[in-house]
Chains A and B, each alone.
Chain A
Amino acid sequence: AAGVIQSPRHLIKEKRETATLKCYPIPRHDTVYWYQQGPGQDPQFLISFYEKMQSDKGSIPDRFSAQQFSDYHSELNMSSLELGDSALYFCASSPSGQGGTQYFGPGTRLTVL
């Protein structure tokens, strides 16, 4: 079965650079979520989109922005990167109307040097 696809899988950036992470949800899933997981920590909810509109917002820094496109894929844009942004970034998707059960992608490992 098709799963959530994230790209790139690994990304290395310098401080103050920008990064764009991409997420392709499971087909027919219209809701996308972004999470940040630091070393030894639990995933922290950043932001979610339903039908291309932002549906909820968590602890997403102002330096980050995200959007969902007409094909339901989503992009997380990160600017003025800081060392503390180094983490695993997971995207999850869910079909609306199924209680919100979320299925996670393999993650993008971002390292900021």
Chain B
Amino acid sequence: RKEVEQDPGPFNVPEGATVAFNCTYSNSASQSFFWYRQDCRKEPKLLMSVYSSGNEDGRFTAQLNRASQYISLLIRDSKLSDSATYLCVVGRGTYKYIFGTGTRLKVLA
């Protein structure tokens, strides 16, 4: 079992839809949490850090549930340009990131 698990998808949604991804992690010592976005053959790009209180950045909302050890990402009003793979990333200590396998999102016109 992987330390960080995500539903690989793909999630195919129409433009304007709301879509949510979950990610579970198994190591309770995990300290930091992020969502990265990766386009095909490109580097992962930081989408947002995830805080215990939850945080929002425009159409994107991230939540962390430490008790149940999962984080979520909600995307509202999906755009075609949101099509990508969304990587859940968990930090253990300062120097190690553990990546989930990613969830593929395809927004359809």
Contacts and interface: CB of A to CB of B under 8 A. Distances in A.
Contacts of B46: 101-103
A55 interface: yes
Contacts of A50: 94-95
Contacts of B42: 106-107
Size bracket, chain A contacts: 20 to 34
B91 to A, nearest CB: 5
Interface residues of B, number: 21
B44 interface: yes
Contacts of A106: 42-43
Contacts of A48: 95-96
19 contacts: A33-B95, A41-B101, A45-B96, A45-B97, A45-B98, A48-B96, A50-B94, A50-B95, A55-B95, A56-B93, A99-B49, A99-B91, A100-B93, A100-B97, A101-B32, A101-B49, A104-B43, A104-B44, A106-B42
Interface of B: 32, 34, 41-46, 49, 87, 91, 93-102
